[in-house]
């Protein structure tokens, strides 16, 4: 949560009081058990799941981000009126979250 808040503070200059649409993409590194190595080449096993269905669940992840951004991006997380959450496997790289925040003009979704 602290990392999310710190990164947001670098990019946001004022707190919003508007309704918010939120897109969250959580990226998780695949465990080694999802891969096979043949002749030094690492490939994904056919049995490796395409979706991250295990814990943590989407709502807990979203709640953590919403709490981290309260007072930085928006006044209160109750302003989030729409939220799309993805949990994705990444084969290489760093785990983390991408956050997209849009204010909603009156009457718009």
Task: Encode pLDDT of 43-99 as tens digits.
Answer: 999 999 999 999 999 999 999 999 999 999 999 999 999 999 999 999 877 899 999
Torsion 107-80-78-9 (CA) sign: negative
Beta-carbon contacts of 86 under 8 Å, excluding residues fewer than 6 positions away, are: 24, 25, 26
* 79, 16 contact by CB (below 8 A): yes
Q: How far is CA 104 from CA 48, 54, 78, 82, in A?
A: 39, 32, 14, 10
Q: What is the mean pLDDT of residues 25-50?
A: 92
pLDDT of 26: 97
Distance CA 75, CA 18 (A): 9
Q: What is the pLDDT confidence band of residue 13, given thresholds at 50, 70 and 90?
A: very high
Quickly state the pLDDT bin for 108 (edges 50, 70, 90).
low
**Cα-based angle 81, 85, 90 (whole degrees, multiple of 5):** 160
């Amino acid at each position: 949560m602290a990392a999310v808040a710190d990164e947001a503070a670098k990019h946001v200059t004022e707190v919003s009081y508007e309704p918010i649409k939120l897109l969250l993409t959580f990226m998780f590194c695949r465990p080694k058990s999802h891969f096979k190595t043949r002749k030094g080449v690492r490939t994904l096993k056919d049995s490796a799941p395409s979706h991250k269905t295990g814990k943590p669940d989407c709502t807990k992840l979203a709640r953590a981000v919403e709490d981290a951004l309260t007072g930085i991006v928006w006044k209160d997380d109750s302003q989030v009126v729409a939220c799309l959450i993805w949990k994705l496997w990444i084969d290489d790289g760093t785990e983390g979250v991408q956050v997209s925040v849009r204010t909603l003009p009156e009457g718009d979704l």
